[in-house]
Structure 1
Amino acid sequence: MIKPLKKAVLPVAGLGTRFLPATKSMPKEMLPVVDRPLIQYALDEARAAGIEQFCLITGRGKDSLIDYFDVAYELEDTLRQRGKKESLEALYPSSIEAGSLTALRQQSPLGLGHAIWCARTFVGDDPFAILLPDDLIMATPGCLAQMVEVYNEYGGNVVAVTEVPREKTSSYGIVDIEKDDGKLVTISGVVEKPEPEQAPSNLSIIGRYILSPEIMKYLSKMEKGAGNEVQLTDSMEKLIGQMPFHGLRYNGVRYDCGSKSGFLEAQVAFALKRPDLAPAMRKIIQKYAHEEVK
């Protein structure tokens, strides 16, 4: 019997050095795309996929991520008194049911695998999703919801995959393919950041995973891999052959908000999807599209 997926882990302990100095005093996951922070998009995607329990893996200086999902009594009361109904409604998505959010500290930056291992007690014996907020995905239904459909049919492990240029495989976890029907891939291996000539394919894993709790016993060994860090993909590799392992070519567009260019592109794309902002954004684009760089 396939256990229902109800838990999600969101690793948010990174330093956000690419966005300094903005991230000197605020987590990069709190950077807004239009009017919602990255962490909100990730949580909304998870809730839409049926997730009910959330675990943030945080670090020093990340308390604002937890505060964001708390109730802002004073602000809400002020908005009510002033009749700001629209502003009050805008706050509702940032609320989360009491007892459904857990925060754990990753005291040392030892890699994504180590961050996930920190959630071992939260995960217990249940399957769990991982969402990396840096990967902002525009999709209907959401990327994780699409993955849940695959998980509910096959069980085991499911990752979101997308093709990358061969010369950029050294920046991603790359899968080895056993079967490929154009949408769903049966995975026979995973390699973390291989050089192009050693990459088994150009199909990369992006920041969405559904994993079996059995992965924790491999993560607990703290074996270091690429970059001298505990890599999640190294432990995922050990699950292959023991249980189903699939990659889904999701329907949607991914924006790499861990880079400045990807973050800026996301601003434009999400603004253009908003009826209240699209006309103004088109005018802005037209204004600057042909302006010479000085």
Structure 2
Amino acid sequence: MRKMIKKAVIPAAGFGTRLLPVTKAKPKEMLTVVDKPIIQYVIEDLSDAGVNNILIITGKGKSAIENHFDKNFELEEKLKNSGKKELLNMVRKIDNLANIYYTRQKEQKGLGDAIYCGKEFVGKEYFLAMVGDTIYSQNVVKKMLEVYDKYKCSVILLERVPKEIVYKYGVISGNEIEKGIFEIDNLVEKPSVEEAPSNLIITGAYLLSPNIFKHLKNTKTGKGGEIQLTDALRSLLKDEKIIGVEVNCKRYDIGDIEGWLKANVEIALEKMPEFRDYLKGIIKDKIM
């Protein structure tokens, strides 16, 4: 049996500039998708997969994240005294999702630097790293753990996208060793369309060897003047195998207003059947 992976790092220190002015005073990770903030979806998937010790990398203006997952005695007493048991249970469930810890990324130096902030928390264990602004229609954490069980190495979640948008992402190349499973041989951060090695992008979900920290420490600034996790992974690849898993579910990248709106509409259609009829009526009126 494998040693259980119980730790995760969630980088959540970015300014969310592509979502301004919504994110001027509110963390993008706390934007709601239907009935709960984005980062809660991420933590629920980790908790459901048995990963219960989570470090959130925060920054200036991110206290709302800590408040959301902290216990609110006054609110709970109010709900209890009002007889609102369903709401009380919902709030208490958030309190008990996981053991959540926080540290700050003191400067905006990129995803690689944010992950490096978790070095002491992680120690010498394999761990999950999940960006705080992307959610999935299935629990991809469980899938990455399954692949790790088989290959005993770092695992990256991938998605096949139209070639013309690969410049926005980290991109991999590799050999497909099983259906949807790739042994990676190269990783490039935000390549031009012409230089991209494939149309398989890195989605922001990782299961990483603790040796990544040694490579992050030695990684120089890359695209955008930031320390790129993709560059550190390319360095790690010289020492260890990295497996990529193609996602077979819907991914919601909530990096801009359009992505946020799409996530709300699509998830609302799944959770609230009555919303479908309302939306049909709106569309009919607009067309007419």
State the TM-score, normalizing by the size of structure 1: 0.93
Matched with 2:273 is 278
- 1:160-199 aligned at under 5 Å gives the runs 160-199=157-196
Deviation at 1:241, TM superposition (A): 4.3
* Number of the residue aligned with 1:119: 118
Alignment deviations for residues 139-179 of structure 1 (CA, whole Å, 9 cap, x no partner): 1xx01111110011111100110111111111111001123
Figure out how many residues of one structure are paired with residues of the other and give that number.
288
Partner of 1:22: 22
Task: Tell me: CA distance 1:266–1:193, structure 2 relative to 1, closer, same or farther (3 Å).
Answer: same
Partners in 2 of 1:163 and 1:271 — Cα distance? 25
- SS at structure 1 position matched to 2:108: coil
Q: Hey, what does 1:53 align to over in structure 2?
A: 53
Q: What's the CA shift string for 1:116-143, capped at 9, x where partnerless?
A: 111111111011111112111111xx01
Residue 134 (str. 1) matches residue 133 (str. 2): yes
Q: SS of the counterpart of 1:5?
A: coil
Pair 1:213 & 2:207 matched: no
Give the secondary-structure state (helix, strand or coil) at the position aligned to 1:247: strand
Q: Which residue of 2 aligns with 1:33?
A: 33
- What is the CA RMSD across the aligned residues, in angstroms? 1.7
Distance (Å, rounded) in 2 between the aligned partners of 1:282 and 1:112:
37
Alignment of 1:83-102 (within 5 A): 83-96=83-96, 100-102=99-101
Larger displacement relative to structure 2 (174-183 or 202-211) = 174-183
SS in 2 for 1:60: coil
Question: Cα deviations across residues 61-105 of structure 1 (Å, max 9, x unaligned)?
Answer: 11111111111111011111110011112213311378x221111
The answer on whether the counterparts of 1:4 and 1:152 sit within 8 Å (CA) in structure 2 is no
1:240-251 aligned at under 5 Å gives the runs 240-251=237-248
The one-letter amino acid paired with 1:155 is K
Q: Which moved more, 1:124-133 or 1:180-189?
A: 180-189
**Counterpart position of 1:202:** 199
1-side partners of 2:166 and 2:266: how far apart? Answer: 26
Is this contact kept in 2: 1:131–1:207, CA < 8 A? Answer: yes
Report the alpha carbon displacement of residue 180 of structure 1 after superposing the two structures with TM: 4.3
How far did 1:278 drift? 1.6
Answer yes or no: is the 8 Å Cα contact 1:173–1:193 preserved in 2.
yes
Which structure 1 residue ranges, 4+ long, deviate > 6 Å from structure 2? none
Separation of aligned partners in 1, 2:229 and 2:2: 23
**8 Å Cα contact 1:157-1:244 kept in structure 2:** yes
Q: Does 1:255 align with 2:249?
A: no
Where structure 1 has 5 or more consecutive residues not aligned to the other structure, the ranges are none
Residue type matched to 1:42 in 2? V
Aligned in 2, Cα 1:265/1:97: closer, same or farther, shift over 3 Å? closer
* 8 A Cα contact 1:114 1:222, kept in partner: no
Partners of 2:33 and 2:89 lie apart in 1 by 18
Using the size of structure 2 for normalisation, the TM-score is 0.95
Structure 2: 5+ residue stretches without partners: none
- Partner Cα distance (2:166, 2:19) in 1: 23
SS of corresponding position for 1:199:
coil
Give, as a single letter, the amino acid of the residue that structure 2 aligns with 1:72: N
Whole-angstrom distance in 2 between the partners of 1:97 and 1:31: 19
The percentage of counterpart residues that share the same residue type is: 39
Residues in 1 aligned to 2:159 and 2:51: alpha-carbon distance in whole angstroms: 23
Q: Which amino acid aligns with 1:91?
A: V
Q: In structure 2, how many angstroms separate the alpha carbons of the residues matched to 1:227 and 1:18? A: 15
Give the secondary structure class of the aligned counterpart of 2:194. helix
